[in-house]
Chain A
Amino acid sequence: MPFHSHLLANGLQIIGETSPSARSAALGFFVRTGARDETPEESGVTHFLEHMVFKGTSRRTALDVNRDFDRIGADYNAFTSEENTVFHAAVLPEYLPQAVDILADILRPSLREDDFDMEKKVILEEIGMYEDQPMWSAYDHAKRLYFAEHKLGNSILGTPESITALTRDQMYAYFQRRYVAPNIIVAAAGNFEWPRFVDLIEKHCGPWQKGAVGREGVSETRGSGRFEVLTRDKVMQEHVFLISPGPPADSPLRYAADLLGMAIGDDSGSRLYWALIDPGLADSADCSFHEYEGTGAFYTSFSCQPEQAQEDLRIVMELLHDVQKNGIREEELNQARSKVLSRVVRGSERPKGRMMALGMNWIYQHGYRSVDDELRAFEAVTLADIRQVLERYPLDQVTTLALGPLAQLQAEEHG
């Protein structure tokens, strides 16, 4: 599958991988801005702005945006993370020009005051929805506890207070600062013609403003190491997160870190599965590696009946100490590898999945990675690489947060 790239004069990067046998084409606008790029006064603005992008431009009302997407049968959406805001659509090949027309247009939103006020209510509803989901709540609190002063701890949704206080002008200033052409990558995958696609993007995005890019506060962190219990009487199960340091997204160790996370906490056949799920000690248990610009982290979590939480925490800490000390076995590495290879192959069969990978790789790996490049990188991981991850990023150096009915829980000391 041929890869193409083109840089517009204003700094906007276009990349694409064409695959004539695909049934659809997918495209995404990756804006390199997220919750970590917000000041405390702007908390939640990135995600709120993501919503406002769908509220229209000088050419389209909010209803027009939705109707235009639906008219071409687009599968479209957007998401906001700590570091990126991504707007994407998958369409039948003949509708790609219209999809570009809509997406490029809405990326220059009007941010009308009345739309802003209305959408503020929707954001507050979204915050309320997550507040009723203890697992998500625990994750959000745990992330904040781990990253502490580091800006990766910033909340993506913000708080009811920060959202209520936010003004349209603050959002506009943030937009001007972050949605500049050199901070945006347009990625496409599937059945489309590259030269025509470049022309379309050039036509729509060529006039976009230049500006300074980059972000402040990019540094490694090992986390606060704190231990906190948040008591919530109305919650049924105890939800526990343990976060430990990991390599940053552009580290060559990311592949080993991914496999290590999977060997410890994938939903089948992992260490955590055998330790907690198989014997019925927890209703969920997971470990996965999350990568960011400048740093990374392993998120280990479980939820269980409150009276079981202390014992489960002991089991999990023992498991992490054991992996830290003895690593994992060759067969565990191979088992994780088989699963990852199969997921990479399947994930790349859909243009939408491939487009996401292209965009994220461009941002974090600073270039193009073919499916085969990715497969080879996972193939090449050895136990020595796993050992190196553990030596540089101690897995048992955890920051712990529990949320649920328990009033207290004892930290498990290294025994």
Chain B
Amino acid sequence: MQVDVYQHTFANGLTLLAERMEHVRSAAFNFLVPAGCAFDPPDQLGMGSVLADLLTRGAGPRDSRQLTFDLDNLGLDRGEGVGLMHMHLWGATVARNLPAALEIYADILRRPHLPDEELSAVKALAYQDLRALEDEPRSKVFVVLRKHLYPTPLSNDRRGTAEGIANITSEAVRRHHHRWFQPDGAILSVAGNIEWQPLRDQVERLFGDWNGSADCTLNLGPQPPRRAHVAKDLEQTQITVAYPSVPIGHPDYYAALGAVHILSSPGGMSSRLFTEIREKRGLCYAVSAGHDMLKDRANVVVYAGTTNDRAQETLDVLLAELRRLQDGIEAEEVERIQAGIKSGLIMQQESTRARASFLASDWYYLGRVRSYQEIQSAIDGLSPALILDHVRRYPPRDFVIVTLGPKPLTG
């Protein structure tokens, strides 16, 4: 499959990535700025989210209403997300409206008003976001899991803390924006029915005279305790289990991904956890495993939500399944995950948003964009022996176990 990917890093450090997709009428973009919640000031946790909300409340010549109105009129579906390392500003619309949208985003990134008078409303929203988390047990347990999986500030959550939000001032927001919204380290990826040269020229014009860099070193705190239970009166107990894996770029990466898919393949239902926990025992509706990755570390993260009186049994079966990985892997299982990954890769070509996000993510983690052929050949190369070797090098053990529900579990 031939894919046209273009890349250019401007003199100021901003990297532009683009993929031309002739068979679609839309285009999507994704800005990554190193302003994730790991960089929130320790006494102002929640800063990234507050800044993200304020960014679109007026920028350049437009006030808040005009900005929203103009973006809506471009048919732009958009969002501002605060991840651990980056703030993501994404948008998608019909391809002919992309240049006009990028013009406005240059203002949003470089010339936001960050209006003083809107800060209290934005902080009120941030408080409510924290409260709303209490009504979403599944999201809540993942937030607590991070606190026990990673040292600070890698354990930060985008929602911050009530105390942190209270400490945020307009002046501090401006400082934070100035410090982290820098071209060196920022990535802009675009995918869709676009032309490379005009895009590159436009981005050069909009961002070429932007200068500066951000120092992204983090001072890590001590490793937190590996067990936690949060008591809450719920119908179901929320269970998360995590253990160490390897990140992309590591020689074991594809084998590690294979091992996770054997436990739980995205969208697939014949993988081990679904089969053993849901299909054979009816213990859960939702059970899954994923690969949680930072640049220098990764974990396998497993989730299950189950009725309280069957929670201990669920955890027991789940841990047994994780340990059983080392006992052997069947060729049939590997063939199935290969088919799933292959078709997922090809179908990704039908979504401009998925491709824009893939380009940016590869650039951040690897400093290059992997071709379809490269990934395909690595996936084709997977075998039971290869995955088993990896699992034995990185055995499921030293579990971090975090639960949310009426009663603690033992495991």
- By a beta-carbon cutoff of 8 Å, the part of chain A in contact with chain B is 21-24, 54, 62-63, 66-67, 69-77, 90-92, 95, 118-126, 128-129, 131-135, 234-237, 239, 268-269, 273-274, 277-284, 303-305, 331, 334-335, 338-339, 341-343, 345-346, 349-351
Contacts and interface: CB of A to CB of B under 8 A. Distances in A.
Interface of B: 23-26, 57, 64-65, 68-69, 71-78, 92-94, 97, 120-125, 128-129, 131-132, 134-137, 232-236, 265, 267-271, 274-275, 278-286, 305-307, 332, 335-337, 339-344, 346-347, 349-352
A121 B281 CA distance: 9
Kindly list the 9 A-B residue pairs having the minimum CB-CB distance in the complex, ordered from nearest: A342-B75, A280-B124, A121-B282, A73-B343, A280-B121, A73-B339, A283-B128, A66-B270, A66-B269
Contact of A132 (B71, B77, B94, B137): B137
A268 B124 CA distance: 18
Contact of B128 (A71, A234, A282): A282
B306 A125 contact: yes
Contact of A236 (B134, B274, B280, B307): B134
18 contacts: A24-B347, A66-B275, A67-B270, A70-B268, A70-B336, A71-B339, A72-B339, A73-B343, A77-B267, A129-B235, A129-B285, A131-B235, A237-B132, A268-B71, A277-B125, A279-B121, A280-B122, A280-B124
Contact of A126 (B74, B137, B285): B285
Given A24-B346, A71-B335, A279-B121, A121 B23 contact: no
Contacts of A351: 350
Contact of A70 (B122, B125, B233, B265): B265
Contact of B24 (A67, A134, A334, A349): A349
Contacts of A119: 282
A73 B134 contact: no
B267 A128 contact: no
Given A24-B350, A62-B279, A280-B123, A346 B285 contact: no
Given A23-B346, A74-B343, A350-B347, 14 more contacts: A66-B275, A70-B339, A91-B343, A120-B282, A125-B284, A236-B131, A282-B128, A334-B73, A335-B69, A335-B73, A338-B75, A342-B26, A342-B77, A349-B350
Contacts of A69: 268-270
A21 B193 CA distance: 14
A342 B93 contact: yes
Given A335-B73, A345-B25, A283 B306 contact: no
A132 B347 contact: no
A125 B131 CA distance: 25
Contacts of B57: 278
Contact of B346 (A92, A274, A281): A92
B289 to A, nearest CB: 15
Contacts of A118: 279-282
Given A23-B346, A126-B285, A269 B125 contact: no
Contacts of A273: 68
- Of B64, B306, B341, B347, chain A has the most CB atoms within 10 Å of the CB of B347
A70 B343 CA distance: 10
Contacts of B306: 125
B307 A338 contact: no
A339 B271 CA distance: 39
A159 to B, nearest CB: 13
A236 to B, nearest CB: 4
A305 B339 contact: no
Contacts of A278: 57, 64, 121
Contact of A133 (B123, B135, B332): B135
A303 B267 contact: no
B11 to A, nearest CB: 34
Contacts of B65: 274
A303 B280 CA distance: 38
Nearest to A128: B235
- Of B97, B278, B282, chain A has the most CB atoms within 10 Å of the CB of B282
A351 B23 CA distance: 12
B350 A128 contact: no
Contacts of B307: 124-125, 128
A135 to B, nearest CB: 7
A414 to B, nearest CB: 28
A107 to B, nearest CB: 17
Contacts of A281: 124
Given A335-B73, A342-B26, A73 B350 contact: no
Contacts of B93: 342, 346
Contacts of B135: 133-135, 235-237, 239, 303
A66 B279 contact: yes
Contacts of B340: 70, 73
B282 A350 contact: no
B347 A90 contact: yes
Nearest to B279: A62
Contacts of A282: 128
Nearest to B125: A280
- Of A54, A346, A349, chain B has the most CB atoms within 10 Å of the CB of A346
A132 B281 CA distance: 22
B279 to A, nearest CB: 6
Contact of A23 (B94, B131, B283, B347): B347
A312 to B, nearest CB: 11
Nearest to A120: B282
A122 B278 contact: yes
A239 B134 CA distance: 13
A239 B135 CA distance: 10
A125 B282 contact: yes
